[in-house]
Structure 1
Amino acid sequence: MAKQPMLKFVKIDRDMPQKRAADTRREDFDEIYSEYAAAKAEEQASRCSQCGVPYCQSHCPLHNNIPDWLRLTATGRLEEAYQTSQATNTFPEICGRICPQDRLCEGNCVIEQSGHGTVTIGAVEKYITDTAWDKGWVKANAPAQERSESVGIIGAGPGGLAAADMLRKAGIQVTVYDRYDRAGGLLTYGIPGFKLEKDVVMRRNQLLADGGVTFVMNCNIGTDITFDEIRAKHDAVIIATGVYKSRDLEMPGSGATGIVKAIDFLTAANRASNFGDTVAEFENGTLNAKGKKVVVIGGGDTAMDCLRTSIRQGATSVKCLYRRDRANMPGSQRETQNAEEEGVQFEWLTAPKGFTDDSGKVAGVMVQKMRLGQPDATGRQAPEVIEGADYVEEADLVIKALGFEPEDLPTLWGQPDLPVTRWGTVKAAFRTGATDLDGVYAIGDIVRGASLVVWAIKDGRDCADALVERFNSAAAQVAAE
């Protein structure tokens, strides 16, 4: 009788890849987790229970075939595991690194619910695709036949790139326009290298270019080229700009120098530390935490990125202000733990009410102590101010990580007919991404609001499928006539 390769969760404990010591990893921007060795990956994959209703798969936005590629990994069939993984996910090695698995696949693992510790799905996913790259199994798109249809994609983030990949597989001509000098969007300039090393993103960008995707970089729509000109060049246009407008704080002292936006801080850090670019505001200290008392306002993953980047830049102290408690914060618990290990101090149940300054430069944050009151409309407990408990938190650099909002695209692009919601996001059809403008589609955060990379990938793939179906229908109609 053949030996059972799976269901070993009773005998084998959950074991994550080794994490570098905090004192070591805080000195650089390298990823903090090591890679699984083959034997360890097989061992951890073998813990999967192969349950009849795979909640890991149903709670993954991409509905990745997780039990299948775990079984293939456990039995040493890695190339098949990679083919199964990439069949539903354009960037599995990226999702394996940055997805909040504790809230998605791993958080819904059946054996986790039974108290045995979840399967390390993200770490195995990363291992499979990194191995595929090393072995040369990852190939550029080679469509069976080139087609005449052309699609312009505005935005080179994960949603736009996922759509580009799927469209090129179908032989459709694709041009991606982006305001930055490198493709990848937040994957390149928003997420720090210690979570996602930049060569991982750059090799994907190169693979897309090798597969026939045309990139037009340093291109601002409305300035370098108009939206109407892009529509005229292509049979369809996909808006995949993401949301980059930072939420702000309007309170006393908010105009002091030394109060900066998270996206500006992270972009400067990524350029300087991961690409070696010369960034004036980093060099002159405006967007550099070195030698400073840093306060980050916010509790999401962007706040965690700013906190941990500040540690690596050599801040003298790094504190996080968040108006709720640890259990109610929106960011990943895993990232919070990593930040604490590296020396970040969290000030729970605190909120800013203003800023103090010294000759126009920020000197501190005026802080209100909070308590959790009755739940709000979403079910979360609403924070309430504790009167008389205010204090001042000293700061040389304050980073606002309060989330992102959409830019006013109808005005910026001179498109008053582009339909938007009351929140400024583009109105688009579920699954297809179609808008009320003929041939114009929208996907990712510009439709959803600030969300996860994996949802943007899902939207990009779905939109590409819808466009291929549309082009096929049009071609069939022409042939019938």
Structure 2
Amino acid sequence: MQRFVDTDQRRPEKRSAEDRRDDFHEIYRGFEERQAAAQASRCAQCGVPFCSSGCPLGNHIPDWLRLAAEGEHQEAYELSASTSAMPEICGRICPQDRLCEGSCVVEQSGHGTLTIGAVEQYLTDKAWNEGWVEPIAPRAEREESVGIIGAGPAGLAAADRLRAMGYQVTIYDRYDRAGGLLTYGIPGFKLEKDVVERRVRRLAEGGVTFRRNVAVGENLPFSEIEEAHDAVLIATGVYKARELSAPGVGSSGVVRALDYLTASNRKGFGDAVAEFDSGALNALGKRVVVVGGGDTAMDCVRTATRQGATSVTCVYRRDRDNMPGSATEVRNAEEEGVVFEWLASPKLVLGDAGRAEGLRVARMRLGPPDISGRRAPEEVTGAEDDFEADLVIKALGFTPEDLPGAFGKPDLHLTRHGTLKVDPRSFATPLPGIFAAGDIVRGASLVVWAVHDGQKAAKGIHDYLQEKARTVRPETVGQQETRYDPRAYEAVAS
């Protein structure tokens, strides 16, 4: 260990921009064993591991890096998986530069951060290949059942932990495939879909029931789910797109980011997608302008280059240093030919009601910090520019849907942002037996935070059902206490 002084930082090999623009495969080739061991050996084994505190899941990063450097790959994987239900997914799509790697002491010393995410991905991919990822096999089955609304990362993570403790788990999801944004929102060049599918398959083979094409509050009342289960977890995510406030946004050719990304991912699965085939959600041969500066905007611009757009421009109202998206994703996009127009705010969609022909932007400057601490953009009077565009994609983020109204539960309390209000420790709502986790609680956020919330909610549900069992059936307390797998409980509790 502590080889950072004589071993340089090396990231996994990245395919050339020319090569990767032709397909939707992941752009990194991944570590080989020798490379993973060498990079893991750079860890300083800090007495106070800031990388762990920088990880929302509190992963035991120095410990499994040491094991990886020593060649104890299976033990390293098991330690990694003890705190994360999806280590290979987080290893691929977490913005490590803002989390664990950004907190690395080696990075602060000037030797270059550890490539934590790449080692995590290597360990778990190897675990799948070697058969170390064991099926979910509870030591004993429980009678209590839990219904989970939403098959995104929060719902899947909660299902993993609850099923390991023996609960009967059913997941209800609006889509025909499980995974939520992992499946339909994130492009394959960041997360190939077989990586998500094998996680879903493990849950199904472990006894989790999936009910797909179920829109709770539309074709299935929430009350039916509540009556069918001893506890319910709401993990719907946030899907209502923020709208662009500018004249002309109703023109044909102005589309929502999630609609665009979903159409692209569906085509990757081989589905028939009428709006893609008609060209409405296809960038082929078009001048594309994407509005926004988050990771969803980066997904859109990089998807457009792969679809054969003639030009791709990203318009964002702040500068590079103040954008919310990953700096790594910006670099990847620039390598692939995307042009960034910083300090530019949409003012008018050019063209007519029948077809968008461009976007007029106002030039901005950064003023004093706003309530969030970021410098607020201010319009520069008289400074405008026009960009030609056949396709304008709105990637301005997402807000919560009206779940209290849709579910017929007005007592579901909301924050001022429209998200569900829960107890921060148990993730319980004010309604008995109803819990919530993921983006529907914290707002549009990172996948790793959704996994964190799902795992914590699973513990909250477990504690609730245990307390309920002690209250309702006190004579079975001893039996209940010996039926769960302590290792599974410890994984959830961590």
**TM class by smaller structure:** over 0.9
User: Does structure 1 conserve the Cα–Cα contact (< 8 Å) formed by 2:433 and 2:464?
Assistant: no
**How does 1:9-88 map onto structure 2 within 5 Å?**
9-88=4-83
> What does residue 366 of structure 2 align with?
372
AA at the equivalent of 1:469: D
1:473 CA drift (Å):
2.8
Counterpart for residue 479 of structure 1: 474
Determine the C-alpha separation between the residues in 1 that align with 2:85 and 2:6.
34
- Of 191, 196, 200, the residue aligned with 1:201 is 196
The answer (yes or no) to whether the contact 1:69–1:82 under 8 Å persists in 2 is yes
Distance 1:247 1:318 in 2: 21
**Conserved in 2, the CA contact under 8 Å of 1:431 and 1:459?**
no
Q: Is the 8 A contact 2:359 2:388 kept in 1?
A: yes
Identify the match of residue 444 of structure 2 among 440, 450, 471: 450
Corresponding residue to 1:400 among 394, 403, 410: 394
Unmatched 5+ stretches in structure 1: 1-5
**Contact 1:246–1:404 (CA under 8 A) maintained in structure 2:** yes
1:391 paired with 2:385, answer yes
Aligned equivalent of 1:3: none
Give, in whole Å, the separation in 2 of the partners of 1:320 and 1:33: 23
Letter in structure 2 aligned against 1:189 = Y
Q: How many residues align?
A: 475
Q: 2:420 touches 2:436 (CA, 8 Å); kept in 1?
A: yes
Alpha-carbon separation, structure 2, partners of 1:79 and 1:384: 53
Aligned residue number for residue 233 of structure 1 = 228
User: Does the 8 Å CA contact 2:356/2:389 hold for their aligned counterparts?
Assistant: yes
Quote the Cα distance in structure 2 between the aligned partners of 1:470 and 1:372: 48
1:85-142: CA deviation from partner (whole Å, max 9, x where unpaired): 0000000000000000000000000010000000000000000000000001112200
The whole-number CA distance in structure 2 between the counterparts of 1:151 and 1:176 is: 9
- Equivalent residue, structure 1, for 2:129: 134
State the alpha-carbon separation in 2 of the partners of residues 384 and 454 from structure 1.
33
- Once the two structures are TM-superposed, the CA of residue 471 in structure 1 deviates from its matched residue by 2.2
Q: CA deviation at 1:423?
A: 1.8
How much does 1:389 deviate?
Answer: 1.4
Residue 278 (structure 1) aligned to one of 256, 265, 272: 272
**Is it true that 1:319 corresponds to 2:321 in the alignment?**
no
Question: How far off is 1:358 after superposition?
Answer: 4.2
SS, match of residue 365 in structure 2? strand
Opposite residue 330 of structure 1, the aligned amino acid is: P
Is there any run of 5+ residues in structure 2 with no aligned partner, and where? 477-494
State how far apart, in whole Å, the 1-side matches of 2:412 and 2:367 are.
41
Partner amino acid for 2:74? E
- Corresponding position of 1:165: 160
- 2:85 counterpart residue number: 90
1:269 maps onto 2:269 in alignment = no
The answer as to whether partners of 1:15 and 1:120 remain within 8 angstroms in 2 is yes
User: 2-side partners of 1:431 and 1:317: how far apart?
Assistant: 47
Aligned to 1:301: 295
Question: 2: CA distance between counterparts of 1:300 and 1:222?
Answer: 30
Counterpart amino acid of residue 459 in structure 1 = D
Map residues 171-210 of structure 1 onto 2, 5 A cutoff: 171-210=166-205
Range that drifts further, 121-130 or 215-224: 215-224
Q: Which amino acid is 2:141 matched to?
A: E
Q: Counterpart of 1:200 in 2: which secondary structure?
A: helix
1:251 aligns with 2:246: yes
Which residue type is aligned with residue 123 of structure 2?
I
CA shift at 1:41, angstroms?
Answer: 0.5
State the shift of 1:206 in Å.
0.3
Q: What secondary structure does 2:468 align onto?
A: helix
For the residue of structure 2 that corresponds to 1:388, the secondary structure is strand
2:285 is aligned, of 285, 288, 291, to 291
TM-score, L = length of structure 1: 0.98
Q: Partner letter of residue 411 of structure 1?
A: G
The secondary structure found in structure 1 opposite 2:55 is coil
Q: Which residue of 1 aligns with 2:108?
A: 113
CA contact (8 A) 2:238 2:399 kept: yes
Supply the distance in 1 between the matched residues of 2:260 and 2:91 (Cα, whole angstroms): 25
Q: Percent identity?
A: 63
- For 2:118 and 2:460, locate their aligned partners in 1 and report how far apart those are by CA, in whole Å: 32
Shift of 1:480: 3.9
Q: Structure 2 matches for 1:429-448, cutoff 5 A?
A: 429-448=423-442
2:435–2:461 Cα contact (<8 Å) kept: no
Question: C-alpha offsets along residues 403-447 of structure 1, whole Å, 9 cap, x if unaligned?
Answer: 000001111222222211222111111021100111100101001
Q: Deviations over 1:210-241 (max 9, x none)?
A: 00000000001122211011000000000000
Which amino acid in structure 2 is aligned with residue 431 of structure 1? R
State the alpha-carbon separation in 1 of the partners of residues 130 and 213 from structure 2: 34
> Mean alpha-carbon deviation: is it higher for 469-478 or for 254-263?
469-478
Look up the match of 1:214: 209
Report the Cα distance in structure 1 between the residues aligned to 2:452 and 2:21, rounded to whole angstroms: 33
CA distance in 1, matches of 2:106, 2:128: 31
AA aligned opposite 1:392: D
User: TM-score normalised to the size of structure 2?
Assistant: 0.95
Give, as a single letter, the amino acid of the residue that structure 1 aligns with 2:430.
D
User: Does structure 1 retain, via aligned residues, the 8 Å contact 2:2–2:42?
Assistant: yes
Aligned to 1:44, the other structure's residue is in SS state helix
Q: CA RMSD in A?
A: 1.0
